[in-house]
Amino acid sequence: MRILPVALILGGCASVSTQLPDITAPQLSAEQTRQEVLAFENLDRLQQRLMQVALPVLKANTELCPKTRQSVGVVMHSLKNYPKSLHPAAKRELNAGVEPTVRLIINGSAAEAAGIKIGDQFLSSEGKVTTPTSKAFQSQLKAGEPIQIRRGGKDMAINLKSETVCGYKVRLSISSTINAYADGRHITMTSGMMNFVEDDDELAQIVGHELAHNTMGHIRKIITNFVVSLGGTRYTRPFETEADYVGMYYMVRAGYNPDDVEEFWRRLALNSPKYVARDKTHPRFPNRYLSLAATREEIKAKQAAGLPLIPNFKAAEKKS
């Protein structure tokens, strides 16, 4: 069945009674381009910041992560990363195509050191366009073999020294909802969350929280773990508290400052008061505020005593 466009269904019945401003086609097209460019600039900014904050967390916790991968520190893109309506603009403004190309290079990354440029493509050993996260490319990186890239139609070999990080991909989701989630393979942050967190420390705490869902195996029982439940139904309370607890260790181990990160929950309370005392699926906001503060005290005591920053596991559940 074909679904009629909304305009077609509603069209014809409405006729306005005031004289509306005349907008010319060139004006309209120029403004549309302007807004598309602004949107892309904003996405790049969020993406860059997310990776810049998340990579150190993934890097500092490899010994606590059950799986690892090689990271070169780039964000790849292709047309399918953009909503369909933005495809013409993504082609025109960002040179996005069907095959993945480098969109962003993280400061201080292996890719930056190797002179990777925006628009470069990574090639498999058979000369096919691939991504740094593909299985074959990962083993090449791990083995330290020279890497083939394609730049402006020319293929060349480069030396790319990748870094070992926790084996989960970090993604930005274009959505105004304040949320983040983990699915066992990815850590996903919404643009709404990126705009809501006050500083990199808060963002690192959310990254740590989602990383903990993945490393602690919470996903075996639950498909999706949202950092905030705004209407979810699944029972995940103990897992949320554990992800907050372990996540703070992760962020501190990466060098982020845990002071005041619990303020996130007071600000969220202002933003979504009706969820403050709701505890159907997630711990109440006050509980999360207090647990984070208590975890910080525990971590600070360990730091003062010169003890390793490892979460306290229950004796029976200690990893063998």
Interface residues with Zn ion (CB under 5 A) are 225, 227, 240, 243
The pair of structure tokens assigned to 319 is 């990893």
Closest Cα to residue 201, out of 256, 265, 262? 256
Q: How far is the CB of 247 from Zn ion (least distance, A)?
A: 8
Q: How far is the CB of 226 from Zn ion (least distance, A)?
A: 6
Q: Which class for 290: exposed (0-12), middle (13-18), buried (19 or more C-beta within 10 A)?
A: middle
Closest Cα to residue 162, out of 109, 210, 222, 205? 109
Distance from C-alpha of 167 to C-alpha of 180, rounded to nearest angstrom: 18
Distance from C-alpha of 211 to C-alpha of 228, rounded to nearest angstrom: 15
CB proximity list for 88: less than 8 A, separation 6 or greater: none
Q: Which is nearer to Zn ion, 114 or 251 (CB)?
A: 251
Closest Cα to residue 225, out of 192, 194, 188, 191? 188
CB proximity list for 280: less than 8 A, separation 6 or greater: 229, 233, 235
Q: How far is the CB of 218 from Zn ion (least distance, A)?
A: 8
Q: Which is nearer to Zn ion, 149 or 251 (CB)?
A: 251
Q: Which is nearer to Zn ion, 206 or 299 (CB)?
A: 206
Closest Cα to residue 312, out of 215, 246, 239, 217? 246
Distance from C-alpha of 45 to C-alpha of 39, rounded to nearest angstrom: 10
Q: Select the residue whose beta carbon is closest to Zn ion and give its number.
A: 225
Q: Which is nearer to Zn ion, 120 or 240 (CB)?
A: 240
Q: Which is nearer to Zn ion, 44 or 183 (CB)?
A: 183
Residue 118 sits at φ, ψ, to 5 deg, of -60, 135
Q: How far is the CB of 291 from Zn ion (least distance, A)?
A: 13
Helix (H) or strand (E) holding 181: strand 180-182
Q: How far is the CB of 310 from Zn ion (least distance, A)?
A: 21
Q: How far is the CB of 309 from Zn ion (least distance, A)?
A: 21
Q: Which is nearer to Zn ion, 87 or 221 (CB)?
A: 221
Q: Which is nearer to Zn ion, 86 or 207 (CB)?
A: 207
Q: How far is the CB of 225 from Zn ion (least distance, A)?
A: 4
Distance from C-alpha of 57 to C-alpha of 215, rounded to nearest angstrom: 13
Q: How far is the CB of 224 from Zn ion (least distance, A)?
A: 9
Q: Which is nearer to Zn ion, 100 or 247 (CB)?
A: 247
